[in-house]
Amino acid sequence: MSAVAEAAPSGVQSIGQLAGGGTDRLLRFLWVAPLVFALVVTTLYPTVFLIALSLSKSTLGKPFSAFVGLAQILRVLGDPQFQLALARSVLFAVVVSALQLVLGFAIALLFSRLLKAGRFLVSLVLLPLMTPPVAVGVAWKLILAPAGGLLNGVLADLGLTDAPLSFLATPFLAWVSLILADVWQWTPFVVILCFAALTTIPESVNEAAAIDGASRWQRLRHVTLPLVAAPLSAIFLLKMIIAFKLFDLVYVLTFGGPGFATTTAGFSIWRMALERFDVGGAAAQTLVFSIVIGLVTLPVVRFNKAMEARER
């Protein structure tokens, strides 16, 4: 009888522990459930849907009308126009990201030397970033117009040109125009991130280097750059991903022309889906484009991890 009495509290306690453990698991699930649901809705479902579209013959009116396997992916991989579009997208992303990182870091470095005024200037340079991409495209189209365009007027006043230049009518100048517009729009974003990275450097580090006789260039090269290498690589990666999404400026400024000279992968996907109504082909192009983005950004990701590991 005494043994039963002694066992009863321990049994009640174990039941209470089980109930408490079940409650904890339920609470953990409830905390995680919204995140899991969001990931399923925004990532897993679209990815599965995209893969299914790329493996089927699909149009806007008749999705999944027939299963074609890898035929569309092979067709996309063998399309020379899409291959050129991929190459243009990769080259554009690398060039503009490098330009904006150098320019943005230089401006942020200048602002960081201005202390309190630098924070005000950082907020001021946000104006291009807050402008809608379509409005940026329209503004630059007016600036670059051969008749009455601001840039042609300035060049003529300086005596640099005898006749107006058609910036958007020749392949090279069209690409220069796209790069110029993108740099104008997104450099403020890079400036803000670089400025935030520079503010993490203790002022005592620079002061110690200055006391040791290091020049400004030596402090920049041997103190500042090593300390912000990881953030700068992360900024470069983020800007590359944004640059790969180029569409608005191409649509407004050049519409992929002249000819197909400025047709990027994103614009090619849009044309395939909404001009030819080949949704399956557009899905295959999107899948291939996603893989290319992953391969191109992989070295940057590895470099960023190496820099973060070195800081630890």
* pLDDT value of residue 29: 79
**Residue 265 banded pLDDT, cuts 50, 70, 90:** very high
Q: Are residues 77 and 211 in the same domain?
A: yes
Q: Are residues 23 and 94 in the same domain?
A: no
30 domain residue, yes or no: yes
71 burial type by CB count under 10 A (0-12 exposed, 13-18 middle, 19+ buried)? middle
| pLDDT tens digits, one per residue of 20-54 | 556 878 788 788 888 888 888 888 888 998 999 99
> What are the φ/ψ torsions at residue 67 (nearest 5 degrees)?
-85, 125
Better-scored residue on pLDDT, 23 or 256: 256
Give the number of domains in the chain.
Answer: 2
Q: Are residues 27 and 155 in the same domain?
A: no
User: Tokens standing for 7?
Assistant: 């066992």
Q: Are residues 124 and 12 in the same domain?
A: no
* pLDDT value of residue 115: 59
DSSP string covering 137-169, please? Answer: HHHHHHHT-TTT-HHHHHHHHTTS-SS---TTT
| pLDDT tens digits, one per residue of 58-108 | 888 888 888 888 899 999 999 999 999 999 999 999 999 999 999 999 998
Report whether 29 contacts 37 (CB < 8 A): no
**Residue 239 banded pLDDT, cuts 50, 70, 90:** very high
* pLDDT value of residue 224: 86
The yes-or-no verdict on residue 10 having pLDDT over 80 is: no
Q: Are residues 175 and 224 in the same domain?
A: yes
Give the CA dihedral 265, 269, 270, 276, nearest 10 degrees: 130
The yes-or-no verdict on residue 3 having pLDDT over 60 is: no
66 domain residue, yes or no: no
At 131, is the secondary structure helix, strand, or coil?
coil
The yes-or-no verdict on residue 13 having pLDDT over 70 is: no
| pLDDT tens digits, one per residue of 272-298 | 999 989 999 999 999 999 999 999 999
62 domain residue, yes or no: no
169 domain residue, yes or no: yes
* pLDDT value of residue 64: 86
Q: Are residues 184 and 247 in the same domain?
A: yes
Q: Are residues 18 and 147 in the same domain?
A: no
63 domain residue, yes or no: no
Q: Are residues 79 and 165 in the same domain?
A: yes
The H or E element spanning position 65 is: none
Report whether 187 contacts 103 (CB < 8 A): yes
21 domain residue, yes or no: yes
Q: Are residues 205 and 126 in the same domain?
A: yes
Q: What region, left, alpha or beta, does residue 148 occupy, with left being phi > 0 and alpha being psi -120 to 50 degrees?
A: left
Measured between alpha carbons, how far is residue 156 from residues 171, 175, 189, 201 in Å? 22, 22, 32, 46
Q: Are residues 222 and 85 in the same domain?
A: yes
Which range in 15-19, 24-28, 262-266 is most confidently predicted, on average pLDDT? 262-266
* pLDDT value of residue 264: 95
Report whether 136 contacts 118 (CB < 8 A): no
Q: Find the DSSP H helices in 201-278.
A: 203-211, 216-219, 225-227, 229-244, 248-249, 265-274
| CATH number of 126's domain | 1.10.3720.10
| pLDDT tens digits, one per residue of 105-162 | 999 888 887 755 556 676 777 788 888 889 999 999 999 998 888 898 888 888 888 8
Residues 6+ apart with CB under 8 A from 74: none
> What are the φ/ψ torsions at residue 56 (nearest 5 degrees)?
-135, 160
* pLDDT value of residue 76: 92
127 domain residue, yes or no: yes
Range of the domain at 13: 2-54
**Residue 1 banded pLDDT, cuts 50, 70, 90:** very low
Q: Are residues 149 and 279 in the same domain?
A: yes
141 domain residue, yes or no: yes
Q: Are residues 26 and 143 in the same domain?
A: no
The yes-or-no verdict on residue 172 having pLDDT over 60 is: yes
